[in-house]
Structure 1
């Protein structure tokens, strides 16, 4: 009986418990450092099964990649001791690139040469893949969304890259082209959305099989990947994001942070007096206790929200980046050296294999 009990997890050594049940929940930078603890940890962290397990266990936002027009990418960590990448400027890629979208540890970048090639990469491991040339001309500012959801069933990342682009055949129309890593090719959807004007690059998010972009002329354009149908949602929105598996919109004005969740995507098909709302406000935070040097402008100044997903919201004023943590309710300055034209991408420090 005693021999049998020794095989139970309660009788495992502490180092074995940490190795088996704690390491997969740590970020990539910490894990690379922990390879030096001992030979067993190094072998454990290096196995494909562990890499797969970590990419499914660790989901917390680790920091932000920043992209400016004239500079290579850079990275700002939420905790430099725990989160980081070996080459923030992405020089391991075969050419200079601009980041276009990110998802669960993967980045989609576009080359700056004439070819304008797309690359999918994991900046933590320096793995990358060049995608085949799209069928359509996506223009100089493609509205891209990388769709990747880690799955226990897939040891290698199974992802899609969705691009909304202006139609060459129909005025004021938007078309959609989709790359599938499973199929290894691009495909243009048969759906067109008329009256979309231009979509705002770098504004897209993916939630439960639906991709959303902000429109330049107001509101949101959505594309259902399953049904391959598009439609418009209305609302005054600064930033789209995801919280608890739902689409959220975030605005900051009058010294107040406003977060709303999409409650009904079909209000445009209902009667005028139905009373059904598209968005429901779930959080209103009055920033009365901001630092005196926060620089967040006059009371009526509408501030740019760069990022808002999970528990983190990121705002910029001048060259300063400010975070608000919805869980801890803490507000702080993340950086005072951000470029004025910076585009921000949330990043998860994952070991995911491409």
Structure 2
């Protein structure tokens, strides 16, 4: 094989979308190959590195915080290519689900890297802006189209009851679940929803986690421990569901607690002292959502750190410039070429 063919087969699929879009100018052959749907599927399957975070506070436009300016990026971080001002609701493997702020609060699925998008049909229930969503997209080399699912936890108007409605890109239809949750009472959803192995999870204002099995169409409730620090995050570590909480005990000292198992008991406690970084932004701390793996992502003092559970090493991922507001949500993003059908 010629060197260019080796690179085309064994290197390009493992590169981020921003780099690949530049490499289209290398040759006509690369241009055709990188623009092909088959290569997009292959790249979305092979490249799944955390590239940055989409951030959005209350009544603000989205923005993108890249972890590498030269490698990762999107052409329009504010998502102005969509036909409406939107609020980001969930992310999964390069795709975002957004909800419009006008008219029927329509849902849009999009990939900001290539600005492809699709407006979803109107659901059966009324989904207000307070509804909670989880987007499930698992890249595969077998499917000709990038199928994804969306599950929504919806408060019924005038009732302290949560119902569930699911959208499938394969059937392009909404389906109402027969399950309804009344045990949580008049609660609200906090933070990000989380997807793992066919399950959707949401943290609620009552310090309980609402879980929904998308395959078997049943829900469950998991109580958070009383000593769990606020502003925590659901995550998957070592293929197990866990809840990560963080608290501040000194100027730059932090305690991380990792809760795992069916009872969400403390399995690990980590004391960290992070080096202060000069920043003009508001100081604060929280755990950020991450992808599958053995790392905890921490936002502290306007900087983003990664703590490796494997070798107990701290890495500075972004050295300042992150403004922390109480309403700001962070959505992990992978720089993928996958197109929305």
- Rounded to whole Å, the distance in 1 between the matches of 2:290 and 2:36 is 34
Q: Which residue of 2 aligns with 1:268?
A: none
Does 2:272 correspond to 1:287? yes
Match of 2:177 in 1: 189
| Distance in structure 2 (CA, Å) of the matches to 1:92 and 1:312 | 33
Matches within 5 A, 1:262-273: 263-264=261-262
The answer for the alignment partner of 1:127 in structure 2 is: 116
2-structure distance, mates of 1:116, 1:294: 37
Shift of 1:225: 0.9
Of residues 243, 247, 253, the one that matches 2:241 is 247
- Is residue 2:292 matched to residue 1:304? no
Q: Are 1:64 and 1:345, in contact at CA under 8 Å, matched by a contact in 2?
A: yes
Contact kept, 8 Å, 2:243 with 2:264, in 1: the verdict is no
Counterparts of 1:223 and 1:249, CA distance in 2: 17
Preserved contact between residue 190 and residue 205 of structure 2 (Cα < 8 Å): no
- Could you say if the C-alpha distance between residues 252 and 352 of structure 1 is closer, same or farther in structure 2, counting changes exceeding 3 Å? same
Any conservation in 1 of the 2:282–2:324 contact (CA below 8 Å)? no
Decide whether the 8 Å contact of 2:278 with 2:320 is kept in 1. no
Gaps of 5+ in 1: 1-11, 265-276
Indicate whether 1:31 and 2:20 are aligned.
Answer: yes
Normalising by structure 2, we get a TM-score of 0.87
- Residue aligning to 1:351: 337
Structure-1 residue corresponding to 2:257: 258
The one of 96, 110, 117 equivalent to 2:99 is 110
Aligned residue for 1:324? 306
**Which aligned pairs between 1:147-158 and structure 2 lie closer than 5 A?**
147-158=136-147
1:206 is matched with: 195
Please give the TM-score of this superposition, normalised by the length of structure 1.
Answer: 0.84
> In terms of Rg, which structure is larger?
1
Where 2:49 maps in the other structure, the secondary structure is coil
Q: Is the 8 A contact 1:205 1:211 kept in 2?
A: yes
Aligned to 1:3: none
Q: Is the 8 A contact 1:314 1:324 kept in 2?
A: yes
CA distance in 1, matches of 2:281, 2:113: 33
Provide the aligned C-alpha RMSD in A.
2.5
Instruction: Output the CA distance in 2 between the equivalents of 1:24 and 1:296.
Output: 37
Work out the CA distance in 2 between the residues paired with 1:64 and 1:37. Answer: 29
> 1:227-280 deviations in whole A, cap 9, x for unaligned?
11111112236111223433221111141122333x23xxxxxxxxxxxx4445
Displacement of 1:290 after TM fit? 2.7
Q: Identify which range, 329-338 or 69-78, moves more after superposition.
A: 329-338
Task: List aligned pairs for 1:149-188, cutoff 5 A.
Answer: 149-168=138-157, 171-188=159-176
Match of 1:68 among 26, 38, 57: 57
Q: Secondary structure, in 3 states, of the residue corresponding to 2:189? A: coil
1:234 and 1:285, CA in 2 relative to 1: closer, same or farther beyond 3 A? same
Runs of 4+ in 1 over 3 A off after TM superposition: 277-280, 292-298, 308-318
How far does the alpha carbon of each residue in 1:288-329 deviate from its partner, in whole angstroms, 9 at most, with x for none?
24326589999xxx94323243355444456x1422242672
Counterpart secondary structure, 2:150: strand
Distance in 1 (CA, whole Å) between partners of 2:111 and 2:191 is: 18
Contact 2:281 2:322 in 1 (8 A): no
CA contact (8 A) 1:98 1:109 kept: yes
